[in-house]
Amino acid sequence: MTDTPRLLFVGAGPGAPDLITVRGQNALQAADVVVYAGSLVNPALLENCKPGCEIYNSAPMTLEEITDVLIRAVNAGKSVVRLHTGDPSLYGAIREQMDILDQHAIDYAVVPGVSSFLGAAAALKAELTLPSVSQTVILTRMEGRTKVPTKENMAGLARHGASMVIFLSMSLLKALTEELLRGGYTKDTPAAIVYKATWPDEKTIHTTVGDLVDAAESHAITKTALVLVGGFLGDGYAKSKLYDADFSHGFRKADTP
Ligand code: SAH
């Protein structure tokens, strides 16, 4: 194995401080410099940092300011953590940081995290891949300042009837509802809004596609939430073959051959 790079992009998890990975926690405890995404990372995680650790909130910083801090720290021989909410690979804007680091020949690695969509599924006690309902999860967002490629338009994705998790779209619920309906979901398709999954003030709201706007309004939820849509939130499904008494597999023989 090669040495662990001095710079780690670490997934902080969805909110609860004990939902960071052990590897992420160890990196935080060892770090001399931490740059954390202040808008969503739970600051309680920073209590793990050692005394004297330099801590930067990236929320008011530009891309270049962030990478400057990272590059200087690595070049000074320090251990550095770039702490992102959930898992860094989802809407984390890590690629643009990595490209600049590559230009400066700075080595780094990524420590995955529990994404907020998994925190939301746990909060709902939901199975996203329910047999005979959906075996596919679509993670997406409405178009905001960040463009979404035309071929990934929401109605087109909804057409699959798969389990959907929609990030970054709480200010666009009316348009989201219209798109979901245009794609073929009905007004009474089950939906849920999960606000601040795994935080102490977490809220889970069971609703329908037709009532998404009202549900968010009546609970005054305008941000830091996910919308989940699909039959997996409903009642019907087929049981899995994995634990079916009549079904043999590598670890178990069927009762009835
Ligand atoms: N990388 C993150 C996503 C960052 S994008 C991840 O893997 O979760 C930010 C969006 O994620 C927010 O607008 C919101 O839609 C969602 N989000 C992040 N944390 C959340 C939480 N604890 N509960 C619900 N939604 C959350």
What pLDDT, in 10s, does the model give residues 50-85?
Answer: 999 999 999 999 999 999 999 999 999 999 999 999
Looking only at Cα atoms, what is the longest distance across the chain? 67
What phi and psi values does residue 68 have, to the nearest 5 degrees? -60, -45
CA of 226 to the centre of ligand 1 (A): 7
Helices (H) and strands (E) in the chain, counts: 7, 10
Band of the pLDDT at 248, cuts 50, 70, 90? confident
> Half-sphere exposure of 178 toward its Cβ, with a 13 Å CA cutoff?
4
Q: Using DSSP, state whether 234 is helix, strand or coil.
A: coil
DSSP state of 70: H
Q: Using DSSP, state whether 255 is helix, strand or coil.
A: coil
In the block, residue with structure tokens 């690595």? 74
Cα torsion at 103, 107, 112, 116 (round to 10°)?
-30
**In the structure, which protein residues have their CB atom closer than 6 angstroms to any atom of ligand 1?**
14-15, 40, 84-87, 90-92, 115-116, 119-120, 167-168, 194, 196-199, 224-226
What span, in angstroms and rounded, lies between the C-alpha atoms of 108 and 102? 9
Q: What pLDDT sits at residue 257?
A: 58
Q: Using DSSP, state whether 24 is helix, strand or coil.
A: helix
What span, in angstroms and rounded, lies between the C-alpha atoms of 55 and 172? 34
**For a pocket test of ligand 1, which of 139, 226, 227, 229 has the largest count of ligand atoms closer than 8 A to its C-beta?**
226
Query: 225-229 and 163-167 as β-strands: parallel, antiparallel, unpaired?
Result: antiparallel
pTM score, two decimals?
A: 0.94
- One-character DSSP codes across 79-142: -EEEEESB-TTSS---HHHHHHHHHTT--EEEE----HHHHHHHHHT--SS-TTT-S-EEEEE-
Q: Which atom of ligand 1 is nearest to the CA of 84?
A: 1
Residues 6+ apart with CB under 8 A from 39: 59, 85
Band of the pLDDT at 195, cuts 50, 70, 90? very high
The residue-averaged pLDDT of 199-206 equals: 98
The residue-averaged pLDDT of 100-124 equals: 98
The residue-averaged pLDDT of 78-97 equals: 97
What span, in angstroms and rounded, lies between the C-alpha atoms of 199 and 41? 11
In the chain, pLDDT over 70 holds for what percent of residues? 98
**For a pocket test of ligand 1, which of 40, 194, 222 has the largest count of ligand atoms closer than 8 A to its C-beta?**
40
